[in-house]
Structure 1
Amino acid sequence: MIAVDNLSGVESLGSVDYEPVWMFYCKNAFNESIHVSDRDIAKLRINIGPVGSGTRTQALNIFKLNGLNGDAPNLLGLGNAEGVDALVRGEIDAVILVDGFDSPNMQKLIRNPDIKLTSFTRADAYTRLLPYFEEVSAPMGGFDLGKNIPDHPIQLISTTTNLLIDNRLHPAIQVLFLEAAREINGNKSYFSKSGEFPAYMNTEAPLSDEAKFFYEKGTPTLMKYLPFWLAEFLERMFFLLLPFAAFAYPVIKSIPTYRTNLAKKQINSIYKELDKFEQNTIQTFDPNRRSEYIEVLNEMERRILRSKAAKLTTAECYSLRSNIEFIRNALEKQIIYKGREG
């Protein structure tokens, strides 16, 4: 686990595995009849890893919470492998490791009958005070049922292995990292369930936008069916063209409406012309000009039939032609203009 509080430009793709904090001690360091706590172990001659290591950082954080001095002379700075060997030889009393269950160092200590593993009975308190810690546990016999190792339930606190990236890393590469993490770390392990990782569990570094999308929506759909390069290209093009489509859609949608409105405007123009013709004819009707009047109406109808409005606004065209026909019949039969004839 790496502290990133003071780093800028760093984002997280999430956690990919548990790395518990293990605290081992020599069996003969305490009377077997007493309960041994992590505070007691911290006062022994204990190796907490070299300066600058993640193990030492976590050990000092734990000691600080317990009000213990991080500069005490009993705190040694050997490497993990050196510390484990020193503990096995009896040269030191205890060791703190931050490592996976399957690591050689862990297996070497777990199966040594002269070495004991401390249970963090206050694990819940640690996870509340240091939010990047998770609580994990091992049941009685969980390491070796035949030998009943451990001989009682063990509570542990665990950091998580995190994928940290430069926030300028291309989104497509981020997706590839997450896919690889799912493939490699998504299987069941001693402390994790199948499909538990990758997951955003450590809140020290902000989660990248691409990782947020990955955890919420899963693998981009196109990547399930197309080669990566093509799926990525289409995905990027979709998001690039989406704002344009949002702008263009109402414009495109309005094109048919626009043409229809023009056609209706043309129909209305002829309606006005027809109304003006009728009013003038009523006022100045001359029976000798009846054929002339009818020809004017015929020309109006021909204009309608030649226009685009006849195809776009069929109902309105038929209505207009019906009105023309009505006036034409009235002229021929002289219904409206009765009494006007000289």
Structure 2
Amino acid sequence: MASFKQSVQETFLGLSETAQEKWSDFTQFLQEAWPLLLFLLMVLMGIWWYADPPPPRHVLMATGSPGGSYEVLGKKYAEFFAKKGVILELTPTNGAQENLSRLSDRDDPVQAAFVQAGVAHPKSVSGIQSLGAIGYDPIWFFYTGPEVQYSDFEVVRGHSKFFANRKISIGIEGSGTHAQSTQILKATGLDRTNLQFLNLPGERAVEALKKGEIDGAFIVDSYEAPNIQTLLADPKMHLVTFKRAEAFTKIIPYLQILKVPEGSFGLERNFPSEDLKLVATTTNLLIDDRMHPAIQFLFLEAAREINGRESFFTKRGEFPSFKDSLLPESPVAVHYEKNRYPLISTYFPFWLAEFISRLIFVLLPFCVLAYPALQALPSFRTRRMYNKINRLYGELKTFEQDLLTNYDHAKRDEYLKRLDLLEYQALNVTVSKRLAGDYYSLRTSIDYVRNCLNRGVHPYQYDAGVDPDL
């Protein structure tokens, strides 16, 4: 009975021999199947580069006019992108209409922009998708001078006491402020004939209001915006409440109602002096519908981290969301809203997580394509081996037929050299164990023909004195 040591040695020897045999089979497989593997590799590269190209490292985003909240927000997004190894370049614009035009232009490099809900009609733009709303933009109306009764703002038969005698800024044309203020005034039925409405950008309107060059201004911007904070901190400014806020939201469906409790802007001076209602639109994060999905996920992650925090008007986790999107929703954003970002992004840097995600995306269809091909490889290899053996058998048969009909004893050495060459070719044929019998049968057949040539009596030379039937 073998000792334990001998059993272990025999076991390891068997494992070593098996490993060597498998490695030999694998290298043989590579030598024989490389054309098919090369084809599959080319298919893989095609899927990799054309079906799912890598995300860009540079993205251009349109913000808005200088001094507005979009400029500040854009800088926060740029900082977030920089941490992920992507450059987010910000470009200022004149407002929402320019942002929409640049996103719609298929030749413009701008791929993302902040745009207020209600500025664009779905039928008027194309090639744009929404990643959702990321925050509230209240519609503020500030005025200076003596405090005015709310009844003076009411529009009766197209006229209002307040607007009839004052200069009012309604925002630069093409901006979100201009679009929203125009909608509000139109909903009230105000006749704008002979009224003094000015088209001033945000910073200029604030400056003119503080200097007394205008009497009031519509500004659509977030609570945190520098322009809004400047006006809220000025005790000479008054803020108008929207007492009929519910009616405005029925007429203009994308509007939201925001409540401002008494004194919440400043307890020391008790501003506002009563509870106020504001109507607000939302900021939508719009993109070119050709944007790479990974960059879309990055924008959504930035929105969750930056805009998902609790603020004056929003609850924690309220944004991003699809509140008032009138434009087509990005499938990537819909997926994100339900599933969030892939789990691997929690444990890996953005580029590595994206590489792994792309690898999974490529491997799945590749496996579907490669599986039947790999399944066919054993029969493919077997056929190739059989073909090599059968080709040599064919050459041997042709050679033997030639000996039978054209045998020349003087060429015996030449015949033997041809057999040596045929045997050398057979020796260089690598076959699997399953075909070892056919392989050695071929070599035996070659040796048989050689033995026939080396015998004293050759079967390839007929002797007329001998009866062939005996």
Cα distance in 1 for partners of 2:154, 2:176 equals 18
Instruction: Quote how far apart the aligned CAs of 1:207 are.
Output: 1.2
Letter in 2 for 1:175: F
Matches within 5 A, 1:179-190: 179-190=301-312
Unpaired segments ≥5 residues, structure 2: 1-114, 372-470
User: Do the aligned partners of residues 215 and 36 (structure 1) sit closer, same or farther apart at CA in structure 2, a change above 3 Å counting?
Assistant: farther
Letter in 1 for 2:240: T
Letter in 2 for 1:50: I
Cα distance in 1 for partners of 2:337, 2:163 equals 39
Instruction: Quote how far apart the aligned CAs of 1:176 are.
Output: 0.7
Tell me the alpha carbon deviations over residues 34-58 of structure 1, each in whole angstroms, 9 at most, x when there is no partner: 6454644554421111222211111
Question: What is residue 134 of structure 1 aligned with on the other side?
Answer: 256
Question: What is residue 228 of structure 2 aligned with on the other side?
Answer: 106
- Aligned mate of 2:132, from 14, 35, 44: 14
Instruction: Quote how far apart the aligned CAs of 1:75 are.
Output: 1.1
RMSD of the alignment, in Å?
2.8
Local SS of the residue matching 1:12: strand
Letter in 2 for 1:213: H
Percent sequence identity over aligned pairs:
43
Tell me the alpha carbon deviations over residues 91-137 of structure 1, each in whole angstroms, 9 at most, x when there is no partner: 32211111122333222322333321101112122223222222112
Matches within 5 A, 1:102-251: 102-239=224-361
Letter in 2 for 1:21: I
* Contact 2:147–2:238 (CA under 8 A) maintained in structure 1: no
Instruction: Quote how far apart the aligned CAs of 1:85 are.
Output: 2.6
Matches within 5 A, 1:260-299: none
- Aligned mate of 1:4, from 120, 136, 144: 120
Tell me the alpha carbon deviations over residues 169-198 of structure 1, each in whole angstroms, 9 at most, x when there is no partner: 010110011111112222111111122122
With the length of structure 1 as denominator, give the TM-score of the two structures. Answer: 0.65
Letter in 2 for 1:4: A
Unpaired segments ≥5 residues, structure 1: 250-342
Local SS of the residue matching 2:301: helix
- Aligned mate of 1:28, from 122, 126, 146: 146
* Contact 1:60–1:70 (CA under 8 A) maintained in structure 2: no
Letter in 2 for 1:22: W
Letter in 2 for 1:232: E
Cα distance in 2 for partners of 1:106, 1:228 equals 36
1:95 aligns with 2:217: yes
Local SS of the residue matching 1:28: coil
Larger RCO (CA within 8 A; separation ≥ 6): 1
Alignment size in residue pairs: 250
With the length of structure 2 as denominator, give the TM-score of the two structures. Answer: 0.48
Cα distance in 2 for partners of 1:160, 1:18 equals 4
